[in-house]
Amino acid sequence: MANTPQAEKRIRRNQTRAAINSARVSRIRTFLKQVETAIASGDKEQAKAALSSAQPELARGVARGVLHKNTASRKMSRLSKRVSAL
Q: 19-37, pLDDT tens digit by residue?
A: 999 999 999 999 999 999 9
Domains and CATH numbers, the chain: 5-84 (1.20.58.110)
Task: Look at residue 38 in the predicted model and tell me its pLDDT.
Answer: 94
Q: How far is CA 23 from the centre of its chain?
A: 9
pLDDT digits (tens, 9 = 90+) for 54-85: 999 999 999 999 999 999 999 999 999 999 99
Residue 48: the pLDDT is 94
Model's pTM, two decimal places? 0.83
Phi and psi, residue 85, nearest 5°: -80, -15
The pLDDT score that the predictor gives to residue 1 is 77
